[in-house]
Homo-oligomer: A and B are copies of this chain.
Amino acid sequence: MKVGIIGGTGDIGKGMALRLSQNHEVIIGSRKEEKATLSCDACCEFLKELNLPFDLTASTNQGVIDTCDIIIFSVPPETLQITIDSLTGLEGKLVVSLMNPMERKDYFRYAPPEEGSAAMQLQKMLPDSKVIAAFNNIPAKQWNQISEILDYSVCVCGDYEEEKQIVMELVNSISELQALNAGPLAVSATVEAITPLVINIAKFNKMRDVGVYFR
């Protein structure tokens, strides 16, 4: 399966590209193809130096949609609407949301849109796509540390069972991540809210890169 990352030049997008391209055909997408190419070249260089196999190319966000089976949305929630408005052809596609809308005051607070969660908002914007929430609670820095084992639990939520299964397999293909079926897409509100929680826990307890394990 071809995996495309919309907003693939951001920190998390790049980290996911590094991790996923070792086992999958991955396309880094960006609004501008040159930006995607720069990011892709840096990733390829990095993986070559480590003598790791990879299958990674660059394209526009639209190119990702036109050619990929799994479309990962790794964009800031604030720019979601403008990104969606600039794209076509998402009907019927498997779309993965890893967005966690939050605001920072004296601590980080979950700030969901009125739909209930970012994933539910994305599903409403794309009624003919199949939105699955996953990868929400993985500490951002851990994506890039590719020599480090990732063994967190990863909640996967969605209303399409077949697509949920595909995303769970994708999760389980990365390092030692453990995919867990967390139920329908509505549950993504709780899963997204765990991200500001773990950031707060790290801060208040002098811990680093806190993730979550359900056992």
Judge if A213 is at the interface, Cβ distance under 8 Å. Answer: yes
Is A35 engaged at the interface, CB distance under 8 Å to the other chain?
Answer: no
Most chain B CB within 10 A, of A180, A184, A196, A211, is at A180
0 or 1 for each of A190-203: is its CB under 8 Å from B? (1 = yes): 11011011101100
A197 and B187 contact, CB distance less than 8 A: yes
- Where chain A touches its partner, the secondary structure class is mixed
Q: Is A186 an interface residue (CB 8 A)?
A: yes
Distance of A181 from chain B, by nearest CB (Å) = 4
Q: Please report the C-alpha to C-alpha distance between residue A196 and residue B214 in the assembled complex, in whole angstroms.
A: 13
| B182/A190 in contact, CB under 8 A | no
Q: Are B213 and A201 in contact (CB under 8 A)?
A: no
Q: How far is the CB of A153 from chain B (nearest CB, A)?
A: 8
Cα(A172)–Cα(B204), bound, Å: 16
Interface size, A (range):
20 to 34
By a CB distance below 8 angstroms, the chain B residues around A200 are 182-183, 187
> Of residues 35 to 92 in A, which have CB atoms within 8 Å of B's CB atoms?
none
Of the candidates B109, B191, B194, the one whose C-beta lies within 8 Å of that of A186 is B109
Cross-chain contact of A198 among B110, B189, B204, B214 (Cβ < 8 A): B214
A147-183 interface code vs B (CB 8 A; 1 in, 0 out): 0000000010000000000000000000000001111
Show the binding face of A for B, using Cβ within 8 Å.
107, 109-110, 155, 180-184, 186-187, 189-191, 193-194, 196-198, 200-201, 204-205, 207, 210-215
9 A-B residue pairings within 8 Å (CB atoms): A109-B186, A181-B201, A182-B201, A183-B200, A190-B194, A190-B197, A194-B194, A211-B215, A213-B215
* Beyond known contacts A187-B200, A213-B214: 13 more, CB 8 A cutoff: A110-B190, A155-B197, A155-B201, A180-B205, A181-B204, A181-B205, A182-B197, A183-B200, A191-B197, A194-B194, A201-B214, A210-B215, A213-B215
